[in-house]
Structure 1
Amino acid sequence: MGAAPVPTLASHTLLVFLLQLALLLVLALALGQLAARFGLPAIVGELLAGVVVGPSVLSHVWPAGADWLLPKETGQMHLLDAFGQVGVVLLVGITGMDLKFDLVRRRRLTAARVSLAGLLLPLGLGIGVGYLLPAALVPDGTSPTVFSLFLGVAMCVTAIPVIAKTLIDMNLLHRSIGQLTLAAGVIDDIVGWFLLSIVSAMATAGLSTGTIATSLLHPVAVVLVAWVAGRPLVKAALRAAGRSPSPAPTVATATVIVLLGAAATQALHMEAVFGAFVCGALIATSGELDREKLAPLRTTVLAFLAPVFFATAGIRMDLTALTRPVVLGAACVVLTVAILGKFAGAYLGAKLSGLGRWEALALGAGMNSRGVIEVVVAMVGLQLGVLGAESYTVIILVAIVTSLMAPPVLRVAMARIDENAEAQMGLTDARTPDLASPR
């Protein structure tokens, strides 16, 4: 006899899932638009959508409704998680596609100094703070070393989309300092995804000489194989898809490439987002990318998949944890270290490149935005068990606060920078890149 057919999805499970998606999307879009109206990144409102329906608000205001909408049932929540993972994989893929490698080449020396100083200082401070935080914030069974490394990675990342949108809104994208900030952010993104993959592998395989070596070598091997073998395949696939006047083949091809890259790194016990980012970068450097044809994919991800993902990230925040003195104290320490580390690092890199104090301050403000990248890092940590509910809430709080800080500080610094002074410091040949997503 043949095997029994797999049961279909239960009617009630499907009903709850559809209502979850509808409610989270409506709230995310509404609060995202509200945030944008006040000059804030849309991601702030989208995260708050999850906070509203999660344990921070709805569970206290209407417990019965919260239990029905977000039942403590593994299968039900896994549906929402799977949907969110598809969204974040495609979002990270688009982030890779939007990287401006030509911008990095034009500003390579100054951008490298700013980026590396802005990476290494908060990374080191974050690792140090991770060892000093109360043991109550470290989940049971998690190595303090892995926790500290993960916190360091979370402290050193930068969110290019938030930087780009802030510069666009303030009409600063054409300025040389704005271009330099984006170039340094590109390097930050590349190194940040690389570090996330390494630490995630350590969290999965444990800490030993062999696993540490493997964690370091696997990401390098993935990048090399992708560049040598994957790049020609990606180029050929996009060229074939581009022959059609319709955007559909290009959208489908890019989506398949990103999903396959994510599946490959997941199979290698690395994070799926690393493979998605690498494939996005391959698409960006293929020479066959028609950005206009990718517009439908970008719209679908940014208007539908990404808001739901950020709302699901907000659901896992528990702001009531901040009423506990230990958690509130840890949040203040981590937030302070994250801000000072990034500002000081970027400022130091800028000064070493001969820039003035206001130029250095503007770079620090831009690089301090964590936004979407920090949220993805936090979600990865939660899924791996490296972060608990309290430490996850703290890191999401860092993402929100640092994204809110960028516009006012940039406004003050850029008002004091003379465009002629930028040219005198060698920051010339500014060309405006394509507009990035508002996250």
Structure 2
Amino acid sequence: MEVLIHNPLTRFLIQAFLIIACARLVGLIARRLEQPMVIAEVTAGILLGPSLFGWLFPETSAVIFAEQSLPLLKLVSEVGLIVFMFLIGLELDPKLLRGRGHASVIISHTSIVVPFALGGLLALYLYPRLSESSVPFSSFTLFMGAAMSITAFPVLARILTERRLLKSKVGALTITCAAVDDVTAWCILAFVVSITRATGLVSAVWTTVFACAYIGGMLVVVRPFLNRLGERGGSKEGLSQDLVAVTLLLLIVSSWTTEMIGIHPLFGAFMLGAIMPKGTSFAQSLAEKLEDFAVVFLLPLFFAYSGLRTHIGLLNSADGWLMCGLIIVVACVGKFGGSTVAARLTGLRWREASALGILMNTRGLMELIVLNLGLDLGIISPKLFTMMVLMALVTTFMTTPLLRWIYPPEELAKELIDAPGQTPLPAAAAEVYTVLMCVSYERTGPGMVTLASALARRGPDARRLYALRLIPPTDRNSFYVNQAPEQQGATALTPLLARAQELDVEVRPLSFVSPKPSLDICNVADVKQADLVLVGWHKPLFSQTALGGTVYEVMRCARTDVGVLIDRGLKEVRRLLVPFHGTAHDKAALGLARRLAQEVGADVTILHVVKPTRRAGDAPLGAQETVDQVFEGEEGDALRKSKVTLKVVEHDSPAAAAVDEAARGYDLVLVGVGPEWGLAQRRFGMRAEHIIQGCPTSLLVVRHHEPATAPATAPAPAAKVFALASEPEPDRT
């Protein structure tokens, strides 16, 4: 190992490689557990530190993370922190702090005062046990109070957006309180740092005077200059490299100024970001240029440096773990308890108040920044630092599962109906036909609405058509709060809505961020009482099956019929082909074809495939028997009037026979899912479905949902399948 590391740069590159790779690998697990990325990065840092890597491989760890190399790692990580704190300031919109009313004032102040007071009381117990006598008790107490009051604003904003709570009452209130918390807690922390660094009363007074002068200068002199800079950066010229250079120079000067005053460079970075103009695209463009490098490369170095300072082995006694548990309990009681009770007293329901308390208890990265400040200043010991890091991890980790328990997906789906800007759902009626169209790509929209409008042609009172666009969550943190899912979804839904306007059909768009699209599709289908869910098709990664991935999950879990549309230029629905084998899914496909025949007068061809060699048990019906039974009696007469043709062919492969017949000029092929057509439902698979790959025209793969309470019935004979596939429609003449 020493041969590979022959200079400080080589050692740093190896450290960076291990840190970033470990953070991303742990991040894969964190995403599976629906945890924010900060959990993965903090955990990766601890794993690379003496708590695991240094414990298992002490010699290797001593070489890679040698003591003399840590100052360089710390320096680079602090540069990353300065950039990140600037981005946090950019993300903090002053509008969040205004006009939120009486409730936000009470909750935000309570969520600071209560944990601060409990942190001060906890300091009485911890100071004689975990602190040095050289540390002033006042500094220790103030620091513990500030550390308990921190809320992780960026992590909270991301969780709110992913859980679709940001636009709700509780989400708006939470993000406001978190913004107030962040500003107040950082002001308190700045005061604590200045007191700790001051060598006497005179020094503390001068630090306070210079800090006030700095803030005044930033607001009076720098802010107007930044407004002019923002207007230029938000113009058609865009954000040039010169503007980025000027901004970075201001960032350096602001951070250097607060360091010289005696506070900390992080406060200067945060202050500059907070006063940046938010009304133009300047701030967002600037964040997009800086964020990826800061978050992916620089921040993991900070987490690793924190992990190297976290020695879980220091908690080698029952007393140590009891004190750690006490810190976690006090942190949760102060933040969660104080916020929840205050929210309940302001009129929120217990569900909303509890959700707000859970979110406010999130600490994450911001807590780690505070703890490192305390350790660097000597206010807290390495042992207390380790306990507080574990507290930050636990309070952040518990947020998502507790929030899912308080606000389950079904409850969130129901609240979509009452969300601001949504049209209330009309009362359900037996004759109303509802279709939920799930649009993943723009190109699939026009074909979906063409089919959906044909299925429900008879007037707006007899149909409900919804277009759902689910937006995958991004890795970006800054301006995550300001991203409007409705605006992003509108872009993907534009072709669908344009086609709907041509057809004179009303479509209600729905759009929101979804980390689990299949679950949300099924929940929305339940809430909207959909008769049919239409899903667009795309081939999943590392798979040849078209019915895998999200499509598989929707077909497996949806409590209604599902149609997967493989659109190959569907413009009209006039000639239909229905390959029929007699399964429940085939009957559902036949039912949709019957509906299309009644609604738009489509011609329907039913394809029945039999084996070329007729032996006992090969097929339930012969060719002539099938024809006779399909068209016998009154039902047969009705089928003839609907332009329905039964076609019986002999072929070794039903799927190949269907593909051959589809080449004869049909607009749409409707086929039930099932192995008889080579369409087995598989989550993964490397075997392509022949009928999907070979069909030259648009194809609708139908999966029928059988209600659990429905009585079991014997398979209907082929003669009655068409009539039984759906309820008889009322006479329109």
Does residue 344 (structure 1) correspond to residue 337 (structure 2)? The answer is yes
Matches within 5 A, 1:109-128: 109-128=102-121
Bigger relative contact order, structure 1 or 2, given CA contacts below 8 A and separation 6+? 1
State whether structure 2 residue 159 is matched by structure 1 residue 159: no
Gaps (5+ residues) in structure 2?
421-479, 485-733
**1:413 matches 2:413:** no
C-alpha change, 1:310 and 1:250, in structure 2 (3 Å) is: farther
Deviation at 1:362, TM superposition (A): 1.1
The amino acid that maps onto 1:277 is: F
Map 1:288-367 to 2 at 5 A: 289-367=282-360
The equivalent residue for 1:394 is 387
Deviations 1:53-108 (A, max 9, x none): 211112221111111011122xx211111100001111111011001222332314
Corresponding residue to 2:482 among 420, 424, 434: 434
Q: CA deviation at 1:353?
A: 2.1
Query: How far off is 1:349 after superposition?
Result: 2.5
The answer as to whether partners of 1:177 and 1:422 remain within 8 angstroms in 2 is: no
2:9 corresponding residue in structure 1: 14
Q: TM-score, normalised by structure 2?
A: 0.54
CA contact (8 A) 2:150 2:181 kept: yes
Contact residue 232 and residue 238 of structure 2 kept, 8 A: no
Decide which moves more: 134-143 or 56-65. 134-143
Q: Tell me, what secondary structure is at the counterpart of 1:434?
A: coil
Alpha-carbon distance in 1 for matches of 2:266, 2:301: 17
Amino acid paired to 1:268: I
1:147 is matched with which residue: 140, 143, 146? 140
Give the C-alpha shift of residue 127 in structure 1: 1.1
Read off the aligned partner of 2:221 and give its amino acid letter. A
State the partner residue of 2:262: 269
Q: 1:55 pairs with 50, 54, 79, which one?
A: 50
Residues 386-413 of structure 1, C-alpha deviations (whole Å, 9 max, x = no match): 1211111111111111111111222233
- In 2: Cα distance, 1:342 partner to 1:326 partner: 24
Sort the Cα spacing of 1:419 and 1:218 in 2 relative to 1 into closer, same or farther, 3 A.
farther
Q: 1:349 & 1:172 partners in 2: Cα distance?
A: 19
Q: Is contact 2:311-2:386 (8 Å) kept?
A: yes
Tell me the equivalent position of 1:27.
22
Distance 1:422 1:126 in 2: 40
Aligned to 1:105: 98
Question: Residue type of the partner of 1:434?
Answer: N
Residue 600 of structure 2 aligns with which residue?
none
Q: In the alignment, is the contact (CA less than 8 A) between 1:87 and 1:305 conserved in 2?
A: yes
2:26 touches 2:41 (CA, 8 Å); kept in 1?
yes
Deviates more, 1:303-312 or 1:331-340: 303-312
In 1, the alpha carbon distance for the partners of 2:18 and 2:231 equals 40
Q: 1:82 & 1:234 partners in 2: Cα distance?
A: 28
1:315/1:285 CA distance change after superposition, 3 Å: same
> Higher mean Cα deviation, 10-19 or 376-385?
10-19
How far off is 1:423 after superposition?
Answer: 8.9
Q: 2:348 aligns to what SS in structure 1?
A: coil
Count of matched residue positions in the alignment of Structure 1 and Structure 2: 417
Q: Which amino acid aligns with 2:261?
A: L
Residues in 1 aligned to 2:402 and 2:45: alpha-carbon distance in whole angstroms: 28
Identity %: 28
Given that residues 142 and 386 in structure 1 are in contact (C-alpha distance below 8 angstroms), is that contact kept between their aligned partners in structure 2? Answer: yes
Q: Relative to structure 2, which stretch is displaced further, 379-388 or 169-178? A: 169-178
Distance 1:26 1:414 in 2: 34
Of 48-57 and 347-356, the range deviating more from structure 2: 347-356
Give the secondary structure class of the aligned counterpart of 1:34.
helix
Q: Deviations over 1:225-275 (max 9, x none)?
A: 211122112223444455643553444333333232211101101011111
Q: Which moved more, 1:363-372 or 1:51-60?
A: 51-60
Higher-strand-fraction structure: 2
Deviations along 1:305-332, whole A, 9 cap, x unmatched? 1122122212211111222233212211
Q: Given residue 228 of structure 2, which amino acid in structure 1 is its aligned partner?
A: A
Alpha-carbon shift at residue 420 of structure 1 (Å): 10
Name the Cα RMSD after superposition: 2.6
Partners of 1:247 and 1:294 within 8 A in 2: no
Are the aligned partners of 1:198 and 1:215 in contact in 2 as well (CA < 8 Å)? no
Deviation at 1:372, TM superposition (A): 1.0
- The one-letter code of the counterpart of 2:264 is E
- On the 8 A contact 1:194/1:219 being kept in 2, the answer is no
Q: 1:253 maps to which residue?
A: 246
Q: Is the 1:242–1:250 contact (alpha carbons within 8 Å) kept by the matching residues of 2?
A: no
- Alignment match, 2:218: 226
The code of the aligned residue for 1:23 comes to: L
Structure 1 or 2: more helix by fraction? 1
- Confirm whether residue 85 of structure 1 aligns to residue 133 of structure 2: no
Instruction: Indicate the residue corresponding to 2:194 in structure 1.
Output: 201
In the superposition, relative to structure 1, how do residues 62 and 39 fare at CA in structure 2: closer, same or farther (>3 Å)?
Answer: same
Q: Distance in 2 between matches of 1:108 and 1:292?
A: 31
Distance change in 2, residues 1:220/1:394 (3 Å)? farther
Comparing 378-387 with 325-334, which one deviates more in the overlay? Answer: 325-334
Distance change in 2, residues 1:404/1:435 (3 Å) = farther
Cα distance change, pair 93–246 in 1 and its aligned pair in 2 (3 A): closer
**Counterparts in 2 of 1:373 and 1:435: CA distance versus 1, 3 Å:** farther
CA contact (8 A) 2:277 2:283 kept: no
Kindly state the Cα deviation for residue 414 of structure 1 after the two structures are TM-superposed. Answer: 3.1
Alpha-carbon deviation of 1:290? 4.3
Any conservation in 2 of the 1:117–1:348 contact (CA below 8 Å)? no
Q: What secondary structure sits across from 2:238 in the alignment?
A: coil
State how far apart, in whole Å, the 2-side matches of 1:378 and 1:191 are: 17
The list of structure 1 runs, each at least 4 consecutive aligned residues, that deviate by more than 6 angstroms after superposition, is 420-424
Report if aligned partners of 1:28, 1:311 keep a CA contact under 8 Å in 2: no
Q: Choose the corresponding residue for 1:46, options 25, 28, 41.
A: 41
With structure 1 as the length reference, what TM-score do the two structures score? Answer: 0.87
- Aligned 8 A contact 2:49 2:304 in 1: no
**Amino acid across the alignment from 1:59:** G
Q: SS at the partner of 1:133? A: helix
The letter for the 2-side match of 1:18 is L
